[in-house]
A and B are shown apart, each in its own frame.
Chain A
Amino acid sequence: MNHDDIIVKLKEHLGHDEVETSTFRDNVRVIVPAAKVYPALSFLKEIGFDMLIDITATDYLHYPDAKDRFGVVYCLLNTATGMRLVVKTFLNEPELKIPSVFPLWKGADWMEREVYDMFGIAFEGHPNLRRILLPEEFVSFPLRKDYPVQGKGERHNFPVLSRAES
């Protein structure tokens, strides 16, 4: 079974209008709407893509010719055949929600937390969706393109210890 067969099967499962495809070098990408992500990934897992390599996101703010703000990317691997597939979906403000794939792959837990931490995309149904890298009290999402590289003063929001106090 090659990539074309898988795309045909996926189109039969989800509907022909819901699935777009593209390729870049060896990567075959499947673009589905946000509402169809969970059914698509669930189906792909059933037909052999048993390993979730990565979940990440992209901010397309200021990106030329981009229609949507955020892209969420799922990288899948079939461990039996070594075949890989990339599933993408696009999200826009204010609906930054997407179903969690934690029920399919337990490894999605920390990946989704990281995407939430950096981009503020909420994964609905995630068992423990809180910040993973940044401190709990952090309020911004620093990998968004509208966030300044040097931050908004969070790095200097600490008490100063002097010799007299310590």
Chain B
Amino acid sequence: MPTGVPENVFISKLDVLANWVRANSLWPMPFATACCGIELMATGASRHDIARFGAEAMRFTPRQCDLMIVAGRVVMKMLPVLQRIWLQMPEPKWCISMGACACSGGVFDTYAVVQGVDRFLPVDVYVPGCPPRPEQLIQSIIDLQNRIKQTGTLTGREFRQRQQHEGPIPLTVLPPEAIIAPGDYKTATKDWSNEQP
């Protein structure tokens, strides 16, 4: 009677097994708000074929997804929606910030556009480009898979360890009295550029 481990059995840690499974079946949540969304669709289409990396099952409900791809600029009216969708996604979950606008606001340095979703969400991988090529997005998914394989644990301990928000330093925000009420013309016409925030 043979002893030992058969040829088609291997022994590993449960964490590694979980990471192996998770990394190769990512379910993206396409949060496509702008032209990056077109490249995201191209990545999912037959020419570039994101299915080769096990991430082709895009779902439009956050409860079935574990990878949020923020593709495009996010305005201040959309950010609460984005945060709510992120909170609705089950653990473990990851986030790719796709394109210059999602990473930094891009050329839209205006009052309504959030200057990088990483100010308000934990982002794992940033993809530069305006918009990025599908190859870049595929590379980001490969990078994310490597990251999952190296850092993940079965119970998601690695997420709890990151207590502090690891975003960029906040932009200067004007003092609360500078945010005016409707019709308050005197406050609105005051020159706030010399005021210390």
Contact = CB atoms under 8 A, between A and B. Distances in A.
B187 to A, nearest CB: 10
Interface residues of A, number: 31
Interface stretch (B34-42, B52-60, B171-179): B171-179
Interface residues of B, number: 42
Interface of A is mostly: loop
B130 interface: no
A162 B165 contact: yes
A17 interface: no
B79 A158 contact: yes
Contacts of A157: 76, 173
A13 interface: no
A150 B110 contact: yes
A81 to B, nearest CB: 40
A148 B182 contact: no
Residue among B77, B80, B162, B188 with max Cβ neighbours from chain A (10 Å): B188
Contacts of B180: 139-140, 152
A82 interface: no
B10 interface: no
A141 interface: yes
Given A134-B77, A139-B180, A139-B181, A155 B121 contact: no
B189 interface: yes
Contacts of B185: 93-94
Contacts of A93: 185
A135 B81 CA distance: 12
B4 to A, nearest CB: 42
A158 B179 contact: no
A139 B188 CA distance: 11
Contacts of A166: 86-87, 93, 121-122
Contacts of A127: none
B111 A154 contact: yes
A12 interface: no
A152 B178 contact: yes
A160 B109 contact: no
A156 B120 CA distance: 9
Contacts of B115: 155-156
Contacts of B188: 140-141, 144, 146-147
A155 to B, nearest CB: 5
B26 to A, nearest CB: 18
B139 interface: no
B196 to A, nearest CB: 14
Interface of A: 93-94, 96, 120, 134-135, 139-142, 144, 146-164, 166
19 contacts: A134-B77, A140-B179, A151-B110, A153-B178, A154-B111, A155-B114, A156-B170, A156-B171, A156-B173, A157-B76, A158-B76, A158-B79, A159-B120, A160-B165, A161-B165, A162-B164, A163-B162, A164-B162, A164-B163
- Closest 5 A/B residue pairs (Cβ): A151-B111, A153-B173, A162-B165, A163-B162, A163-B122
